[in-house]
Amino acid sequence: MKILKLSILSVLFTVSITSCVKQEYDAPPNANSIDPSKVVNSQISYLTESCLNLESNKARVLGDSTISGVVIGDDRSGNIYKQIYVQDSAGGGIILLLDRTNLYGDYPVGRKVYVNLKGLYLVNYRGLPEIAYYVDPATGSTSGIPSSLIGDFITKGSYPNTVTPKVVTISDLFSSPARYLNTLIKMEDMQFDVASSGVLYSNPSSSTNRTIKDCPFTGALTMYNSSYSTFQSAITPSGKGSITGIFTTYYTTPQFVLRDTLDVLLTGARTCP
C-alpha cells in the first residue's frame, strides 16, 4: 500500500514539475540596426517634377517602383499631422499622407523608409507634391494610407540617420522653389517680423501664420503654425539667428513649417527693425 501511495505521489509530482507554464519573454532584437536593403529604382525628384506638371489638386496613380529616404519631419510636436516628410539622398523631398496619429513612434525623424509606390496617388495638393492612398477625382480631397495598410507600402529601415539641412537664403527659395519643396532647409541671419515676434506661435483656437525675414532684408517667408502643436503657447523670440525647418508652398505662396522650436536658434541680438 505504501508503495502504491508513493508511486501515485511521485507521478503527480513529476506531472506538476514538467507542466511548467512559461512566462518569460526575450526582448526582440533591436531592429534599428537592421536594414531590409530593398531595391530602390526611383528617385523623389522625379516624383516632384512629374507632380508639378499636374494641375493643382490633380493626381495620378503611380506604377510599380520603390523610393527610399529618411524621415525629416514627423508629428512629435503636433505641428505636422497625419503625414511625414521624407527626403532621399539625391536631395528630393516628398510628403507621405498616413491616416494615423502619433506617427513618430514608427517613423521618427531619422528613420530610413522604403516606399513601394504601386497603386498610390501622386497629387499636386495646392502646389505641394504629396503621396496619398486615394484622391477623389471630383473634389481633389486626399486620403492617407489607412493604418492597417501602411505596412503594405512602407518598410521601416535603419535608425537613426542624419539629414543635413540645405543652407539657403530667401532668394534661393524664391528663385527656384521646386528644388527645395518638402526638404529640410536652414537659413542664417533670420528674425521674426515685428508683428510676429514676442507673440504666441499660434493662437489657441486656430492655426496661425507668422512671418520671418532675413536681415539684412531681402524677403519675408510665411511660417505656418498649428494650434495643436505643443509649442502653440510658446512665445516667438525677438532675436536673430538660424532657423531650420521644411520648405513648402500653399498654392504659389512659399511657406515654412517648423518641426520643433529646438530648430529656432534666434539667440543673437536683433539688428533689423
Partner 1 sequence: MLRKVYVYIGLLSFLSVTVLGQETNSDTVIISNNDIPVITIDDNVLNQDDDVSTSSSQNASGMSFASDDPFLFTAGFTLGQYKFRSRGVNNMELQINGIQIQDLERGFASFGSLGGLNDVMRSRKTTYGLSPSEYAYGNTNGTNYIDASAASQRKGTNISFNQTNRSYRSRVMVTHNSGIDKKGWAYSLSASRRWANEGYVAGTFYDGYSLYGSVSKIIKNSQFNFTAFAAPTTRGQAIYAAIDEVYQLSNDNQYNGAWGYQNGVKRNSRVVKVFQPVLIANHTWKPSDRTRLNTAIGYEFGKYNNSSIDFYNAYNPDPSYYRNLPSYYLNPPDPNPAIANAIRSEILSNPNLLQLDWHGMYNANNSNVETIKNVNGIAGNDVTGKRSLYVLSNRVDDMKKYSFNTNIEHEVNEHIGLNGGVKFVAQQDRYYKQLIDLMGGDFFLNYNQFANQQNVPNPAFSQNDINNPNQLIKKDDVYGYDYKLNINKFDAWGQVAFDYDRIDFFFAANLGYTSFNREGFMKNGLFPDNSFGKSTSHDFMTHKTKGGFTVKIDSRNHLYANVDYTTEAPAVINTYISVRTRDFTIKDPVVLKAKTMECGYVFKSDKVFVRATGYITDVTDAVVNMQFFNDDPSVVSFVNYILSDVSARNIGTEFSGSLKLDDKWSLTGLAAIGQTFYTNRPSVNFYQDNQPDQTSVERKVYIKNYYLPVGPQSVYSFAINYRPRTFWFGKINFNYTDRNYVGINPDRRTQQATDLVSPDSENWKEIVDQEKLPAAFTIDISGGKSFRLNKLYKKINYNKLLVLNAGVVNVLNNTNIKVVGYEQLRYDYNNRNPSKFPNKYDYAFGINYYATLSLRF
Binding residues for partner 1 (CB under 8 A): 8-9, 12, 15-16, 19, 21-23, 25-28, 30-32, 99-106, 108, 110-111, 133-134, 141, 143, 146-149, 152, 156, 159-160, 204, 232-233
- Smallest distance from partner 1 to CB 273, Å: 30
Choice between 147 and 171, CB closer to partner 1: 147
- Smallest distance from partner 1 to CB 100, Å: 6
Choice between 156 and 210, CB closer to partner 1: 156
Number of H helices, E strands in the chain: 5, 18
What lies within 8 Å, CB to CB, of 152 at 6+ separation is 116
Choice between 146 and 219, CB closer to partner 1: 146
Choice between 23 and 175, CB closer to partner 1: 23
Q: What angle do CA 244, 42, 65 make, to 5 degrees?
A: 120
- Smallest distance from partner 1 to CB 31, Å: 5
β-bridge pairing 166-167 and 184-192:
parallel
Choice between 202 and 244, CB closer to partner 1: 202
Q: What is the DSSP letter of 235?
A: B
- Smallest distance from partner 1 to CB 107, Å: 9
Q: Which three cell numbers stand for residue 53?
A: 506638371
- Smallest distance from partner 1 to CB 271, Å: 30
CB 251 within 8 A of CB 126: yes
- Smallest distance from partner 1 to CB 243, Å: 20
Choice between 100 and 126, CB closer to partner 1: 100
Residue type, 86: V
CB 239 within 8 A of CB 268: yes
